[in-house]
Amino acid sequence: MDWTAEAIDQLRSLWAEGHSTAEIGRRMGVSKNAVVGKAHRLNLPARPSPIRREAEGTATPRPATPRRPVAPPPQREAAPRRAEAPQPAASASAAPMGAPAAAPRPAPVAVVRPFPRVSTRSCCWPLGEPGTPEFRFCTAEAITGKPYCAEHAAVAYVRVRDRREDAA
């Protein structure tokens, strides 16, 4: 866009009236970014951000919510533990007035079984659904230089067919 003298005067007057850059752009038939760029080049006074303006005092302050005490995270044990029987929850009415509510018990830690050690010479083809007890790796003798056995390498490494064969 060529900024004529009258377009610049119109921009200055709309800017002084406090219109948004998008509104000025709509009224002048230019993009918001064109308005912002020209205002910057003309060194027009910067406007406070509407976000900052609301944060400084026009917005109503929220009432402070009391913080609950945070329990430290449970320590992980080396050996997997059995899930304990759930304890009956204490009712809210049983706690005396003014006494802080008891912190909820942390969720039981999921038992993670380690995968069996797979040597660098064994097949790493996954079998089964990950996360289920049946999940495992093939562990057959791997081909030299490949992570899979001969059977799984045949599935994993498929030669790309020549495009001329597909063109027929």
The pLDDT of residue 141 is 87
Which of 80, 75, 104 shows the shortest CA–CA distance to 90? 104
DSSP strands (E only) in the chain: 126-127, 136-137
| Segment-wise mean pLDDT, segments of 10 residues, the chain, 168 residues | 89 91 92 92 82 55 61 61 55 55 67 57 87 87 87 85 63
Could you tell me the pTM of the whole model? 0.32
The DSSP call for residue 2 is -
Which of 17, 7, 6, 9 shows the shortest CA–CA distance to 47? 17
